[in-house]
Amino acid sequence: MPGKNGIESAREILEIDNSVHVIFVTGYSDYSLESFQIHPVDFIVKPFTDEKLLDSLYIAIDHINSHKISEAKVSDNGLFVYKVRKQMYMVNFDDIVMFEKKSRVVNMYTRDEEIVKFYEEFDNLISRLPQNFFMSNKNYIVNLKHIHKVIPLNKTSMEIRFVDFQDSATLSKSLEKDFLYRFYRTKKF
pTM of this structure: 0.65
The whole-number pLDDT of residue 144 equals: 96
Which CATH number fits the domain that encloses residue 19? 3.40.50.2300
**120 occurs within a structural domain:** yes
**1 occurs within a structural domain:** no
18-25 CB contacts, 8 Å cutoff, 24+ apart: 19/67, 21/60, 21/63, 21/64, 23/56, 23/57, 23/60
Residues 103 and 128 both lie in one domain: yes
Residues 91 and 148 both lie in one domain: yes
Please say if the pLDDT value at position 32 is more than 90.
no
pLDDT band at 157 (very low <50, low <70, confident <90, very high): very high
Dihedral angle, C-alpha 174, 175, 176, 182, nearest 10 °:
170
The whole-number pLDDT of residue 68 equals: 58
Instruction: Please identify, among 44, 68, 92, the residue that sits at the C-terminal boundary of a domain.
Output: 68
Residues 53 and 90 both lie in one domain: no
CB 84 within 8 A of CB 69: no
DSSP state of 15: H
Please say if the pLDDT value at position 172 is more than 90.
yes
The whole-number pLDDT of residue 160 equals: 97
Rounded to an integer, what distance in angstroms lies between the CA atom of residue 102 and that of residue 107?
Answer: 7
Instruction: Please identify, among 23, 49, 68, the residue that sits at the C-terminal boundary of a domain.
Output: 68
Which of 28-32, 44-48, 57-61, 108-112 has maximum average pLDDT? 108-112
CB atoms within 10 A of CB 2: 3
| Structural domain count of the chain | 2
The mean pLDDT value for 67-75 works out to 53
The mean pLDDT value for 39-49 works out to 84
Residues 25 and 64 both lie in one domain: yes
Residues 23 and 54 both lie in one domain: yes
CB atoms within 10 A of CB 38: 15
